[in-house]
Structure 1
Amino acid sequence: MSLFSGTIANLEQGLSYSSIKNKTIAQNIANVDTPNYKAKDVSFKQMLTDAQTTTLSANRTDDKHIDFQAEANTPGVYSYSNLNYRQNGNGVDMDKEQASLAKNTLYYNALIERVSSKYNTLQTVIKGGN
Structure 2
Amino acid sequence: MISGSNMQLLKNALDASSMRQETISSNISNVNTTGYKAKRVDFEETLKKAIDGTGLQANHPNHFGASSLNGVTPQTIEQKGNRINENGNNVAIDTEMAELSANAIYFQAVSAQLSNQYGMIRSVLR
Does TM, scored on the shorter chain, surpass 0.5?
Answer: yes
Q: Which runs of 5+ in 2 are unaligned?
A: 59-63, 66-72
Task: Please say which of residues 83-92 and 97-106 is displaced more in the overlay.
Answer: 83-92
The match for 1:31 is 30
Give the aligned length. Answer: 106
| Deviation beyond 4 Å, 4+ runs, structure 1 | 46-50, 81-84
Task: Give the TM-score, by structure 2 length.
Answer: 0.69
Query: 1:38, 1:83 within 8 Å by CA — same for their partners in 2?
Result: no
SS state at 1:38 partner: coil
The one-letter code matched in structure 1 to 2:30 is N
Q: Could you tell me the TM-score, scaled by structure 1's length?
A: 0.67
State the percentage of identical aligned residues: 32
**Partner letter of residue 18 of structure 1?**
S
After superposition, the C-alpha distances for 1:61-117 in whole angstroms (9 at most, x for unaligned) are xxxxxxxxxxxxx95211136744422221100000110111111011100011111
The root-mean-square deviation of aligned C-alpha atoms, in Å, is: 2.7
After superposition, the C-alpha distances for 1:3-49 in whole angstroms (9 at most, x for unaligned) are 81321111111111222112111110111111111111122245876
- Aligned partner of 1:123 in structure 2 is 122
1:53-92 → structure 2 map (5 Å cutoff):
53=64, 76-80=75-79, 83-92=82-91
Which residue pairs with 1:4 in the alignment? 2
Q: Which runs of 5+ in 1 are unaligned?
A: 55-73
| Higher alpha-carbon Rg | 1
Mean Cα displacement is larger for which, 118-127 or 97-106?
118-127
